[in-house]
Amino acid sequence: MKTDLLKFTDSGGCSAKLSPQQLQEVLKGLPVATDKNIIVDIDTHDDAGVYKINDDLALVLTTDFFPPVCSDPYDFGQIAVANSLSDVYAMGGRPVVALNIMMFPSDKLPMEAYSDILRGGYEKAAEAGVSIIGGHTIEDSIPKYGLAVTGFVKPDSIITNAALKPGDALILTKPLGTGTILSASRLGMADPQDLSLAISYMKQLNDKASAIMFDAGVKSATDITGFGLAGHTLKMARASGVSVSIDMHSVPVIGKVLEYTESGCIPGASFRNLSYAEPDTEFDSELGYNHKMLAFDAQTSGGLLMGVTSGKASGLLRKLQSSGHKGAAIIGYVSELTGKYLYLNYC
């Protein structure tokens, strides 16, 4: 009988994250690191930590793991690794080596499922040119998989979430909707084609998008995962000290995701994300409920969101679309800080 990983979890992928409020509460009491070689730490809630080795080399360090987002073990392994590598790509780095992080209920799932998860992960890592050189596995009632990743970046070329500038255009490289589609799938309401499309987007590496934005001189970016488009954008706006306006009408979506939202297929994480961002967000009176909740949809292995000098935005967008990111779009702009950090519009 074919293994169905979704039977073991109610909340998979990046939807399983702690809420942004809970995370802030946990992190605020931690001591501040004082090592002079630390370039990026938890201060701005960036995608990864960065540690300087010398003037030409810094390490990008990150870890990510989560419960299954899909039934098939191989697909789960592929998605988990693509998601784990994404933080390095968001910083303009090149992932090099990684360690497996694996939790597995060996008394409930066949070992073939364990092997298929790892095989999917190894093959996705190989596609990215990353070597998995070890790891750690423990028994757990819910399967979980991911990586601890080390990458390389030049210290003077780091892309952070804290460098947006007024006048920048915002480009998103993948369409939204994975959280809602996965929720609809659990309820038996998702079109199989939409689910297949969502899985293909989650498997897609952000390596080409990262290289394109690096070559274009982009200074600020993040990847869109469990806190949704609005949550991650808000973190960028706060860290950069600017206001960001997003036109939700311009945001690309996967399949019939807005119809699923209309039918009530909204993950619980979306409401946690809304609660976190709402005090610092102004909502356009023309913004409908479905598009509003789309902004808070918890993504797994989502795209990159980058701030691009307005004169370069169109050219960069064309390069992204021709490289395989056909759903990439310009979705907003950055301005001086005025009132709120985030403005969700419908133009």
* Residues designated catalytic: 14
CA dihedral for 222, 297, 165, 328, sign (positive or negative):
positive
Give bridge partners of residue 102 from the DSSP assignment: 137, 145
Q: Which of 77, 100, 66 is nearest to 179 (CA)?
A: 66
Q: Return d(Cα 240, Cα 163) in angstroms, integer.
A: 5
Give strand pairing partners of 57. 54
* Rounded CA separation 125/122 (Å): 5
**Dist CA 147 CA 166 (whole Å):** 35
Token readout for 204 is 């897609």
Q: Which of 294, 174, 311 is nearest to 246 (CA)?
A: 294
Q: 114 vs 72, 79, 136, 281, 317, CA distance in Å?
A: 11, 15, 13, 43, 39
Q: Sign of the C-alpha dihedral, residues 85, 91, 94, 97?
A: negative
